[in-house]
């Protein structure tokens, strides 16, 4: 937290707006909207619920197919299953580690050939790195299949100077405790389409019809953000740009002092991308004697936590029976990669401790 969140939370308590309704929710939505091309925003209780609602709003039904990035956190794909739809996982390309546009097109063509055109594409910007958005949108437009951008890890990232989350039919953000800013738990769904977002707000508050009594014509959800959490979000949005700056500083620091080790490569921006570098991630050369797991275990012995990269969805037991289009990229990255400590409260000394530990391993 920064200095101002408590001020806004105190304001909530003074006005007694302790509910999934209240002025701070609207204020938080307004701030998010300003940051994102004045798109409409629905503040929700998680990024997962935002993905779930986006699929419902696009009319995805039980038995439908939905294309989805394989290299991601399970929350991207789980909502597809909530609906009873079938995820079809698409592997990555090495440049951004995100969905490979060629594989996506191949998958769509094959599915259309057998008479089963997919209903949506869930595109992730993993670790804050924007995907190959133009190429993905070209495919999406060619076959008229809408894109949901899972920008849960990419708040503050841009592609060709425009914010991630503003390219698809929907953008999804998360304010979970581990994300670049947090409301303890929370999320947002954004869209250029106002009608979609007002429907999202209606569905997220139990789909109550406009009647004095409680009348329901549709199944609803309890997915609205709490006003207390929204107040935290208002304060957090004030520090988003400084958090992005710090994440990028940490990334630069690691790169500067570790790039002398030939065996270590970083996930780097291409000319279109500005990443929030939510996490600094590395991959270890396959010929290296010191493996990613050696680094992780050594850091752990020093009481420093680092983590493997996300295990791709097409390798997860729970999605065993789901279709996938693979090219070995995410599998390979998972085998060789590592997330380095990237918390914005890290001091130079702490980052340097990680650097020195890794250097020591490679000097042996």
Ligand X SMILES: *Cc1c(COP(=O)(O)O)cnc(C)c1O
Positions that interact with ligand X (CB under 6 A) = 46-48, 72-73, 75-76, 124, 150, 152-153, 174, 176, 187
- Closest distance between ligand X and the C-beta of residue 152, in Å? 4
Helix (H, G, I), strand (E, B) or coil at 269: coil
- Closest distance between ligand X and the C-beta of residue 38, in Å? 23
CB distance 183 to 229 below 8 Å: yes
User: Which residue is closest to ligand X by CB?
Assistant: 47
Residue closer to ligand X by CB (options 227, 264) is: 227
Q: How far apart are the first and last CA of the chain?
A: 40
Residue closer to ligand X by CB (options 76, 204) is: 76
Question: Which is nearest to 342 in space by CA: 275, 272, 270, 262?
Answer: 275
Q: Give the position of tokens 């701030």.
A: 31
- Closest distance between ligand X and the C-beta of residue 70, in Å? 12
Phi, psi (rounded to 5 degrees) for 44: -125, 175
Taking the C-alpha atoms of residue 64 and residue 60, their distance in angstroms, rounded to an integer, is 6
- Closest distance between ligand X and the C-beta of residue 74, in Å? 8
Residue closer to ligand X by CB (options 123, 139) is: 123
CB distance 124 to 98 below 8 Å: yes
Question: Which is nearest to 159 in space by CA: 238, 19, 271?
Answer: 271
Residue closer to ligand X by CB (options 186, 341) is: 186
Phi, psi (rounded to 5 degrees) for 11: -60, -40
- Closest distance between ligand X and the C-beta of residue 27, in Å? 20
Residue closer to ligand X by CB (options 98, 140) is: 98
Residue closer to ligand X by CB (options 79, 101) is: 79
- Closest distance between ligand X and the C-beta of residue 113, in Å? 30
- Closest distance between ligand X and the C-beta of residue 233, in Å? 12
Residue closer to ligand X by CB (options 93, 150) is: 150
* Helix locations, the chain, DSSP H: 5-15, 23-35, 47-57, 78-82, 101-113, 133-143, 194-204, 227-237, 240-258, 292-301, 329-336, 348-363
Taking the C-alpha atoms of residue 101 and residue 153, their distance in angstroms, rounded to an integer, is 20
Q: Which two tokens stand for residue 120?
A: 């949506």
């Amino acid at each position: 937290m920064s200095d101002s969140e408590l001020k806004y939370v105190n304001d909530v308590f003074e006005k007694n707006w302790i509910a999934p309704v209240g002025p701070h929710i609207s204020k938080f939505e307004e701030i998010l909207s300003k940051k994102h091309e004045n798109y409409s925003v629905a503040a929700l209780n998680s990024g997962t619920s935002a993905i779930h609602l986006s699929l419902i709003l696009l009319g995805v039904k039980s038995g439908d197919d939905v294309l989805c990035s394989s290299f991601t956190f399970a929350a991207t794909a789980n909502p597809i299953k909530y609906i009873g739809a079938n995820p079809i996982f698409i592997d990555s390309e090495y440049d951004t580690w995100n969905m490979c546009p060629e594989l996506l097109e191949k998958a769509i063509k094959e599915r259309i050939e057998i008479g089963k055109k997919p209903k949506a594409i869930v595109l992730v910007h993993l670790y804050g790195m924007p995907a190959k958005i133009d190429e993905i949108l070209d495919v999406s437009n060619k076959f008229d299949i809408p894109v949901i951008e899972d920008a849960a890890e990419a708040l503050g990232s841009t592609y060709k100077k425009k914010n991630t989350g503003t390219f698809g039919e929907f953008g999804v953000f998360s304010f979970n405790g581990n994300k670049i800013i947090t409301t303890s738990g929370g999320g947002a769904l954004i869209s250029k389409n106002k009608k979609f977002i007002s429907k999202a707000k209606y569905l997220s508050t139990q789909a109550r019809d406009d009647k004095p009594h409680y009348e329901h014509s549709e199944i609803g959800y309890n997915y609205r953000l709490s006003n207390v959490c929204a107040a935290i979000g208002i304060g957090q949005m004030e520090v988003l740009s400084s958090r992005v700056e710090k994440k990028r500083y940490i990334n630069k620091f690691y790169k500067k002092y570790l790039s002398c080790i030939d065996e270590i490569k970083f996930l780097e921006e291409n000319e279109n991308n500005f990443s929030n570098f939510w996490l600094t991630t590395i991959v270890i050369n396959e010929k290296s004697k010191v493996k990613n797991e050696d680094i992780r275990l050594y850091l752990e012995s020093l009481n420093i936590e680092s983590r493997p990269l996300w295990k791709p969805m097409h390798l997860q037991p729970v999605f065993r029976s789901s279709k996938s289009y693979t090219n070995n990229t995410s599998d390979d990255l998972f085998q060789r990669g590592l997330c380095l400590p990237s918390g914005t409260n890290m001091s130079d000394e702490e980052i340097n401790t990680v650097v020195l530990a890794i250097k020591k391993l490679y000097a042996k």
